[in-house]
Structure 1
């Protein structure tokens, strides 16, 4: 399909969507614009009917296929988009989800689809779930709805770009958008072409585009961190990579999952915007762009807002640890009167004990203590550790020891 034909098809898909749901707002953000000395706009896909952009691709693929039965595998946003569209088109859908899928996502998928969808919980991991869905689809002669690696899905996701252009009157100077399997990024890139500059953002634990660009072909990551589950994909799509293979590593960014937590909290507390981890990727990336965006019109696509508030304590914990204002360490505390008092005397006025737990006696005269300290300034830990060293206390900082932290924190 030529660039002209793709644009025409994307515009037709966007027009067809208006009979089902309104366009999502593109809003200028004063706070971010001032902070980064740029004209920052947010394309609020988190405000779609299913709180993500995924229903666009599902809608376009389903309106073209016109099948009596649709099948998909998803642990989140794609499932909800498919369910919503099954109800809209009045067709049957069978949605496979891993057994480990949070109940909140299962319930929302059921709510959107109603009697039109059947949810089957299969396997502990997504790959198991995907294989089961594809096997069932072949047996039932249904139409499999890929979450990203499908030309009609890519075309549907390009509606995001169509709406950006319609609001601004032209392409922005710079677009920042997350990459998972590549459906959205392939659609936006195919629509705008070279009319704008791009930054493609991935979570560090799921950087499948970066790996594919380095290898020159899609590769399967040996391990995926599912914290940013909306963008944590082990292998980018074949069709999507065919459209993205020329973007260049210089136009990609990988974001640490823990740093992402800082942005989630900032957007919630400062802007009142609820973003899921993948939905916050584009906003978080602004920290790394600096001079590249100064004085320019920049659109960040906030791709989803399906955030389970039961995860909020975890998000806060990870944000504090990443920013350096909270640490955990194991202290070898002498078993003598006054030893604990000596330690407490080392704490400053901004240091707060958030965790204190005797683990065991490590020797006759010493005991191991797990201690969590939260403070206002990371530099306060330099002072605390200097005092511990000066007075002969033995300790081990385990804040960044992922393996050890899983067992004791």
Structure 2
């Protein structure tokens, strides 16, 4: 069971391997929400995520014989690194099954910690099935990423640190994938102060916990689809489910588009890289009535490869009208391209790409197409640029921006 005594023991154990992640006050999110928002930056944790807490505590509770048999787990990346690091501390073999879609950086960092990586399946659940087969075939000891009460206890030490640092905390917002983090944090939070409100956040494309709570029992989604790969779980853990049912006050679902905006906000306002799953807590603030409250948002991880970062940034800029593309049909005569460029420049727009197609019509004298991708300051500036083009006789239409 998740008891105060177990949490106390776990807190002492995890301090052997964790870094101190003090709360960061966020002026930006505080202004946005009307609350006093504090960030719990587990993205700055050793191995880049909170998962090392549960992995280390779980492995510390195993017998020598269980560790000597070798360890196995399945993970989309963060738990993999936590187990790999913890196994390294205990001198144990670790085999990690990871979905083939796992970001490259998570795979390489897991291998760098000495673990054997097996890439299998498209989602976590398929990797977990492979891990179970290996456990049976080779006699390896399973270290489940979330459906294990010892793992959940280790993750829950986050709540102890939050309350110790900010005793007047009113709300804790925590991401939910399989449920280990939310079960551990919510249960300890209620033990420390029953008045603390705990909000769990899932990606809308993988809301297995909400579906399970509505059904009154654990259910498995037919499929999941989300950019929040760390929480792309089809079925929550049955061992942790009762604790979430009893201690999580509310479940919020966040769309992928909101995570894209949250990534930009985090980078621009806090200069921190937080992976999509880790951003669930701050993205959920727009859905919560927390005005006047002291709120802690758990940033669960920061392991994100640069290709994904690049894609998220570009989509975010387009989403916020800071990059857009216009299409204009122009007569094919000298000076038209210059007119477009000068008009955009005078409106303080910055041209970042230009495509000139002379063959859009069989009559080039009648029209050629010019597609211009422009950098702007936001929606109002975007409209001002379009109005400036139309004012000089260039009928411009906004079209889909190609990345």
Describe the shift of the 1:136–1:171 C-alpha distance in structure 2 as closer, same or farther (beyond 3 A).
farther
Structure-to-structure mapping, 1:281-300, within 5 angstroms: 281-289=280-288, 292-300=289-297
- 2-structure distance, mates of 1:381, 1:247: 46
Match 1:150 to one of 148, 151, 156: 148
Structure-to-structure mapping, 1:138-177, within 5 angstroms: 138-168=136-166, 170=167, 172-177=169-174
Residue matched to 1:110: 111
- 2-structure distance, mates of 1:127, 1:93: 19
Structure 1 residue 69, shift from structure 2 partner: 1.4
Residue matched to 2:375: 374
Task: State the secondary structure of the residue aligned to 2:240.
Answer: helix
Task: State the secondary structure of the residue aligned to 1:298.
Answer: strand
Describe the shift of the 1:38–1:334 C-alpha distance in structure 2 as closer, same or farther (beyond 3 A).
closer
Task: State the secondary structure of the residue aligned to 1:245.
Answer: helix
Cα deviations across residues 8-60 of structure 1 (Å, max 9, x unaligned)?
A: 21222112223333543234445544564433322222232112110111122
- 1-structure distance, mates of 2:371, 2:232: 32
Structure 1 residue 90, shift from structure 2 partner: 1.3
Describe the shift of the 1:253–1:119 C-alpha distance in structure 2 as closer, same or farther (beyond 3 A).
same
Residue matched to 2:55: 58
Structure-to-structure mapping, 1:35-114, within 5 angstroms: 36-66=33-63, 67=66, 68-112=69-113, 114=114
CA RMSD, 1 decimal? 3.1
Match 1:131 to one of 124, 129, 132: 129
TM-score by length of 1: 0.82
Task: State the secondary structure of the residue aligned to 1:95.
Answer: strand
Describe the shift of the 1:323–1:138 C-alpha distance in structure 2 as closer, same or farther (beyond 3 A).
same
Structure 1 residue 192, shift from structure 2 partner: 2.1
Contact 1:75 1:97 in 2 (8 A): yes
Structure-to-structure mapping, 1:7-406, within 5 angstroms: 7-30=4-27, 32-33=29-30, 36-66=33-63, 67=66, 68-112=69-113, 114=114, 117-168=115-166, 170=167, 172-193=169-190, 194-217=194-217, 218-220=219-221, 222-225=223-226, 227-245=227-245, 251-289=250-288, 292-328=289-325, 331=327, 333-334=329-330, 336-337=332-333, 340=337, 343-344=340-341, 347=344, 349-358=347-356, 361-365=359-363, 366=367, 370-383=371-384, 393=395, 395=397, 397-398=399-400
Structure 1 residue 275, shift from structure 2 partner: 1.9
Mark the runs of 5 or more structure 2 residues left unpaired by the alignment: none
Describe the shift of the 1:211–1:77 C-alpha distance in structure 2 as closer, same or farther (beyond 3 A).
same
Task: State the secondary structure of the residue aligned to 2:317.
Answer: helix
Tell me whether 15-24 or 383-392 shows the greater mean CA deviation. 383-392
- 2-structure distance, mates of 1:58, 1:236: 18
Structure 1 residue 221, shift from structure 2 partner: 5.0
Pairs aligned (count)? 389
Cα deviations across residues 82-111 of structure 1 (Å, max 9, x unaligned)?
A: 001111111111112234434322221122
Structure 1 residue 303, shift from structure 2 partner: 1.0
Structure 1 residue 157, shift from structure 2 partner: 1.2
Contact 2:111 2:117 in 1 (8 A): yes
